[in-house]
């Protein structure tokens, strides 16, 4: 893997992890644009590292919140922190079930099906568009809302459905305040990313060590980290300002392009 490939892949990972545009959908479209050829599988170690970078980016942006939650968890009188962590745990349940028992089946059934990707990107666009026009409420995240958001996250395993877009939009539609919707959506994904990394390491063992040189690994990690911090910060501002419709236009455009490619 060259320097420029590692840099590009790192930036794409950092941006698409937080912006509501679907990384899996863009991967499918990019593959199709390369004359329909299947992209070679990237080294697993590189994939693990760029995902670790996005997890670290979230921790950097929400470092104060995470510190308060960890400190509060060990304080018996701090029930707010304990309940918040409990809600994150509840939100993880649907995605954990899908990831452990159905991810391979879903991947084999849908794979890089551009027709599906196009349809799901258009669905993401509609969701983002209507979310911006939903009446703003200030409801706190409850266990019920956490579970509903978790279900949206599980659905986002489908290529073309944006994880951040689905979770933030769902949180807003069920009445969560805008800043809290973004905060909860990004905090809830940290343990999932770390868990997915651990599962990959356990499943593949020594196979994760390929031929990618250390410089390329470092380049991808730093690129994903920097772009992730910027994208995460930008996304929080976008949610607060009700500007998700901008991404709705983008997703709709890409979805239509994917559909045209699929049928030509």
Q: Which contiguous run of DSSP H or E holds residue 207? A: none
Compute and round to an integer the Cα radius of gyration of the chain.
18
- Residue pLDDT, tens place only, 225-249: 999 999 999 999 888 887 888 899 9
Q: How confident is the model at residue 40 (pLDDT cuts 50, 70, 90)?
A: very low
Quickly count helices (H) and strands (E) in the chain: 12, 0
3-state SS assignment for residue 139: strand
pLDDT of residue 23: 73
Distance CA 101, CA 5 (A): 33
Distance CA 16, CA 163 (A): 9
pLDDT of residue 133: 77
**38 pLDDT higher than 80:** no
Least confident among 29-33, 110-114, 216-220? 29-33
- Residue pLDDT, tens place only, 69-104: 999 988 877 788 999 999 999 999 999 898 877 767
Distance CA 44, CA 88 (A): 27
Contacts of residue 189, defined as CB under 8 A and 6 or more positions apart, other chains included, come to: 58, 153, 163, 164, 167
pLDDT of residue 41: 46
Distance CA 56, CA 62 (A): 10
Per-residue three-class SS string for 19-78: CCCCHHHHHHHHHHHCCCCCCCCCCHHHHHHHHHHHHHHHHHHCHHHHHHHHHHHCCCCC
Distance CA 63, CA 75 (A): 19
Q: How confident is the model at residue 205 (pLDDT cuts 50, 70, 90)?
A: low
Q: How confident is the model at residue 109 (pLDDT cuts 50, 70, 90)?
A: low
Distance CA 27, CA 44 (A): 16
pLDDT of residue 33: 61
Q: Model's pTM, two decimal places?
A: 0.85
- CB burial string 57-70: b at 16+ within 10 A, e below: bbbebbeeeeeebe
The closest alpha carbon to 177, from 81, 247, 242, belongs to 242
Q: What's the Cα-to-Cα distance from 120 to each of 5, 114, 210, 236, 254, rounded to whole Å?
A: 27, 10, 33, 23, 11
């Amino acid at each position: 893997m060259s320097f420029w490939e590692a840099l590009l892949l790192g930036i794409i990972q950092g941006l698409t992890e937080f912006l509501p545009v679907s990384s899996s959908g863009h991967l499918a479209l990019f593959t199709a644009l390369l004359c329909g050829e299947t992209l070679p599988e990237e080294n697993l170690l590189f994939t693990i590292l760029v995902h670790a970078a996005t997890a670290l980016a979230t921790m950097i942006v929400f470092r104060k919140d995470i510190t308060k939650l960890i400190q509060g968890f060990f304080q018996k009188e701090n029930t707010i922190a304990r309940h918040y962590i409990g809600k994150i745990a509840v939100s993880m349940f649907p995605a954990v079930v899908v990831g452990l028992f159905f991810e391979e089946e879903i991947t084999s059934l849908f794979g890089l099906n551009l027709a599906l990707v196009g349809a799901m990107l258009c669905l993401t666009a509609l969701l983002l568009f209507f979310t911006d026009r939903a009446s703003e409420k200030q409801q706190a995240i409850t266990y019920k809302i956490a579970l509903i958001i978790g279900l949206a996250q599980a659905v986002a395993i489908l290529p073309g459905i944006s994880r951040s877009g689905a979770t933030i939009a769902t949180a807003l539609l069920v009445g969560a305040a805008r800043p809290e919707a973004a905060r909860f959506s990004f905090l809830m994904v940290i343990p999932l990313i770390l868990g997915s990394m651990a599962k990959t390491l356990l499943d593949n063992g020594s196979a994760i060590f390929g031929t990618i040189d250390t410089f390329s690994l470092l380049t991808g990690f730093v690129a994903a980290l920097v772009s992730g911090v910027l994208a995460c910060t930008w996304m929080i501002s976008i949610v607060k300002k009700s500007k998700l419709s901008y991404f709705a236009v983008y997703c709709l455009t890409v979805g239509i392009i994917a559909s045209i490619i699929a049928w030509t």
